């Protein structure tokens, strides 16, 4: 009995150290906003989000920004562009207050 409690404690400690809670949070966020992962993997190829995280634009303006990046060498599918514009237009839209991380 005692060793079972000990094993459970160790298991909890290992899972906590492995960052399970934050992993679950990240997955939940990606499920709601699939464009987030696309932005993280695509936009960061050339510069960090310091280039755009303080900007507030509507979806259409973000789409124009994305196409400017295509002109600078970004190579993305229409689906990836749609997901990124959806995400940026929501999280970095005109009424978004804080800079999301
Ligand atoms: C192929 C490389 C590349 C990729 C990928 C890229 N960018 Fe850029 N981006 C640039 C360059 C080059 C500049 C100009 C840097 C400068 O002016 O110093 C820039 C500048 C910007 C600017 C400020 C200037 C402007 O035209 O608005 C924004 C906003 C921006 N990028 C957003 C994004 C977003 C959002 C993504 C992802 C969809 C992205 N970038 C992906 C190359 C890239």
Distance 14 CA to ligand 1 centre (A): 40
- pLDDT tens sequence for the chain (101 residues): 566 665 655 544 544 555 555 555 565 555 678 999 999 999 999 999 999 999 999 999 999 999 999 999 999 999 999 999 999 999 999 999 865 55
Residues 41 and 17 in one domain: no
Could you tell me which of 62, 53, 57, 39 has the C-alpha nearest to residue 93?
Answer: 57
Helix (H/G/I), strand (E/B), else coil: 39: helix
Domain span at residue 10? 1-32
Residues 58 and 93 in one domain: yes
User: Which residue puts its alpha carbon closest to atom 20 of ligand 1?
Assistant: 51
CATH number of the CATH domain containing 58: 1.10.760
Distance 50 CA to ligand 1 centre (A): 10
User: Which residue puts its alpha carbon closest to atom 36 of ligand 1?
Assistant: 43
């Amino acid at each position: 009995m005692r060793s079972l409690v000990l094993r459970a404690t160790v298991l909890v400690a290992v899972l906590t150290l492995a960052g399970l809670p934050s992993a679950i949070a990240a997955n939940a966020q990606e499920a709601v906003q699939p464009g987030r992962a696309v932005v993280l993997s695509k936009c960061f190829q050339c510069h960090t989000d310091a280039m755009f995280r303080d900007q507030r634009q509507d979806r259409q303006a973000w789409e124009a920004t994305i196409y400017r990046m295509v002109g600078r060498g970004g190579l993305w599918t229409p689906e990836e562009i749609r997901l990124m514009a959806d995400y940026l237009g929501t999280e970095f839209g005109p009424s978004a207050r804080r800079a999301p991380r």
